[in-house]
Amino acid sequence: MNLLLDLYYKVKLMPEMILSIWNSIKERLLELLQVIPNLLGAIVVFIIGWIIAKTTSKIIRKVLAKTGIDKLAEKLNEIEIVYKSKIKIVPSTFVAKVVYYLLLFIFALVATEILGMEAISDLMKNAVAYIPKLFSALLVMIFGIFIADAIKKMVLTAANSLAIPSAKMISTIVFYFVFVNVLMITLKQAELKTDFIETNISIIFAGIIFAFALGYGMASKGLMTNILSSFYSKSKFEIGSTIA
């Protein structure tokens, strides 16, 4: 009897259950139908952005290649720290790639706004706002490398003209000293914290300079003895004097 009653109630409640399930499915379908236009719009915007980015990138690369800017970069590629890193810098290709990804990123940002993805959209906006700082930091680094290399050549020329031993090593130390300072400026320009790095680098450079000064002093001990002896002899003896 109880089994029959349970069956009766289930059969009686079945239409309500079916209606409830149908209403739930209908709500999900309506939500999906509301999202589809935005989704299609976002896809269309991204595809258009990709086409624009690719076309603009190709045009920029061809225009820059014709200006001869790649030949100017050969001087940068000849700098020791650059060619040892095995990184070949080609400005026309580099700028074209940067423009391509920047445009693609901007259109992706528009697509996320169409989809109403506020969290991702805000994150991408912050990234776009940071890009100018990154570019300025990169320019500082490039010009800094040129300046460091120019100073290195000046020190090397001056040291060779004065017949200073280890001229190449001295000029290399000067180069890396300038380069590290440029690197610190670059990181600050990119708004990255450098306090810990600066402290450690200062200690390392102080140690290197002390070791170099000590080693150089020990190596030139005999030379300094002869120089001091000559000054002492000049004060005690005159030309033509006989030393017994």
* Tens place of pLDDT per residue across the chain (244 aa): 555 555 555 555 556 666 667 667 767 667 666 777 888 888 899 999 999 999 999 999 888 888 877 777 777 777 776 777 677 778 888 889 988 998 998 898 888 888 877 777 777 778 777 878 888 888 888 888 888 888 888 888 887 877 777 778 878 888 888 888 888 888 887 777 766 666 666 666 666 666 666 655 555 555 555 555 555 555 555 555 555 5
Residue 76 lies inside a defined structural domain of this protein:
yes
Give the C-alpha separation, 80 to 187, whole Å. 22
Give the C-alpha separation, 233 to 227, whole Å. 10
Which residues span the domain enclosing 70? 39-116
The tokens for 178 are 């300038």
- DSSP 8-state class, residue 1: -
pLDDT computed for residue 49 by the predictor? 92
> Residue 128, Cα to own-chain centre: how many angstroms?
15
Residue 7 lies inside a defined structural domain of this protein:
no
Single residue among 116, 150, 185 that ends a domain in this structure: 116
pLDDT computed for residue 57 by the predictor? 92
> Residue 204, Cα to own-chain centre: how many angstroms?
23
CB 137 within 8 A of CB 192: no
> Which pTM does this prediction carry?
0.57
Q: Are residues 168 and 210 in the same domain?
A: yes
How many C-beta atoms surround the C-beta of residue 174 within 10 A? 17
Number of domains in the chain: 2
pLDDT computed for residue 17 by the predictor? 62
